[in-house]
Amino acid sequence: MSEHRRILSLGAPALALVLGIGIGISGRDRLEQGLAESGSVVEATLSDTASGGPAESAAPTVPDVPVEGRVAELDDPLPHWITQTRAERWPDRWDAVNELGIAGDARGIQALVHVALHDDNPHPRWRSLWAIGMIDDGASRARPLLVEPLEASDASDRLRYNAAVALGFFGDAAGVALLQEALQQEDSFQRWEAVYTLGILRDTGSAAVLAQRLDHETESNVRIRGETALVLGRIAAPDAASQLLRVLANDPAHEVRWRAALALQSVGSAEHEPALRQRLAEEDHPEVREWIAKVIDAVTD
């Protein structure tokens, strides 16, 4: 499969989401490195989930599935890619999900929802959300299947959480409480994922619980603190500016401080200029200083 077939032009939200977990825009060959950079990933088995739901249905069977090099020769390759969403290797599942997104065919929605809910690797799972979005009216078609685990009493916690993430990707806050709870999970990738998804939703009701992820004494993961700073700027809660200024003054990681400054461009105002100038005088990292200067320019225009 050629590289340009794997990677499409992404809209800004999808591109940011993909970059956020290390996928980038250069194909699945770089994904394995991204796993290490993203913190621990989901290890829970997803097989013991709600029975009888759409995601539990058997995968379509295709007799004599062709080898990779012959897929392009099929009159209708879609059944092959649907079957491949259940492949053993996650890069093969990622490729299959990507091809279903390229095809934009509604016949792939059920398979894509299964990946979004059940895949134990975040790369095909997140790519499936992009693929659903590439299908005309894909989000609304998929919603009944994604909501079902939230309403099923026998659905596993992991299944319900994955449903909340998927719905949040499409701006649906039906699972916002589960995302808020996930901010306390031991798994660092899950905490990051919850932070990012709440940022998509711009849920002001989540600002207080998100702010707990800013404290470097409580949250040891630099990436999560940096993402939280960006999300609080996006949500623009009333006290976001004061929280971000504290991060700018106290966080030991410059990667977090410059993101706090970037977020302040959205929520800062002229009243914060004195504090910003003080921080500019005290800051010793050039990248952070550059962003503080940009904020000062923004709030004094």
Q: Do domains 1-201 and 203-301 have the same CATH topology?
A: yes
pLDDT on residue 49: 25
Residue 174 per-residue DSSP state: G
The fraction of the chain above a pLDDT of 70, given in percent, is: 76
Return the sign of the alpha-carbon dihedral for residues 183, 221, 207, 35.
negative
- The answer, yes or no, to whether residue 12 has pLDDT greater than 70, is no
Q: What is the pLDDT of residues 41-85, one digit of tens each?
A: 322 222 222 223 333 333 333 334 444 556 767 778 999 999 999
Q: What is the pLDDT of residues 197-225, one digit of tens each?
A: 999 999 899 999 999 999 999 999 999 99
Q: Over the chain, what is the mean pLDDT?
A: 81
- The answer, yes or no, to whether residue 30 has pLDDT greater than 50, is no
pLDDT on residue 2: 40
pLDDT on residue 70: 67
pLDDT on residue 238: 84
Rounded Cα gap, residues 162 and 118, in angstroms: 8
CATH fold for the domain made of 1-201: Leucine-rich Repeat Variant (1.25.10)
- The answer, yes or no, to whether residue 280 has pLDDT greater than 60, is yes
pLDDT on residue 301: 79
- The answer, yes or no, to whether residue 16 has pLDDT greater than 90, is no
The fraction of the chain above a pLDDT of 90, given in percent, is: 71
Which residue type occupies 63? P
200 within 8 A of 168, measured Cβ to Cβ = yes
Residue identified by tokens 């319900």 is 160
- The answer, yes or no, to whether residue 136 has pLDDT greater than 90, is yes
pLDDT on residue 69: 56
pLDDT on residue 66: 44
Number of helices (H) and strands (E), helices first, in the chain? 17, 0
Kindly state the average pLDDT of the residues 281-293: 96
Query: Which CATH number applies to 203-301?
Result: 1.25.10
Q: Residue 161 burial by CB count (10 A; 0-12/13-18/19+): exposed, middle or buried?
A: buried
- The answer, yes or no, to whether residue 232 has pLDDT greater than 70, is yes
Helix (H, G, I), strand (E, B) or coil at 136: coil
Kindly state the average pLDDT of the residues 150-165: 95
List the one residue out of 24, 12, 20 whose CA is nearest residue 39.
20
pLDDT on residue 68: 52
Kindly state the average pLDDT of the residues 227-254: 94
Sequence-distant (6+) residues with CB within 8 A of 33 are 22
- The answer, yes or no, to whether residue 282 has pLDDT greater than 80, is yes
pLDDT on residue 177: 97
Q: What is the pTM of this model?
A: 0.76
Domain segments of the chain: what residues? 1-201, 203-301
Q: What is the pLDDT of residues 80-128, one digit of tens each?
A: 999 999 999 999 999 999 999 999 999 999 999 999 999 999 999 999 9
Question: Is residue 169 within a helix (H) or strand (E), and if so which, with residue range?
Answer: helix 157-169
